[in-house]
Amino acid sequence: MPPEVLADPARLGPDVEKNRAEARKIMREARTMGRISPLQSKVSTRNFPSWRDFAVIMISHLKEIHIDAELDLVDTALWYPKMARKDYTVAPSR
């Protein structure tokens, strides 16, 4: 992302570790308010190498802030209809 997008106060700042610490704090607070297990999510992506790699990296980042994500590989022929139906939780798109 360009630096001006990262510097926007309404978005995440450039200090990644600070952002992750804040996300972990939010997840800890949610846990104390009754949520015992980590948040569950599914990351849908096309079954195409560069998209799949991006999704795997994204899942590893989500795990750092206590979000358990599962990878949902979708065949290219089914990808666009799935997006049109909004049949996804998280869908990285490039």
pLDDT tens for each residue of the chain, 94 residues long: 567 655 665 556 677 888 888 888 888 777 766 666 777 888 888 998 988 999 999 999 888 888 888 998 999 899 889 889 988 776 565 5
| pLDDT score at 26 | 81
Q: Would you tell me how many other CB atoms lie within 10 Å of the CB of residue 63?
A: 12
Pull the structure tokens for residue 16: 């990644």
Among 21, 1, 31, 29, CA closest to 65: 21
What is the pLDDT at residue 56?
93
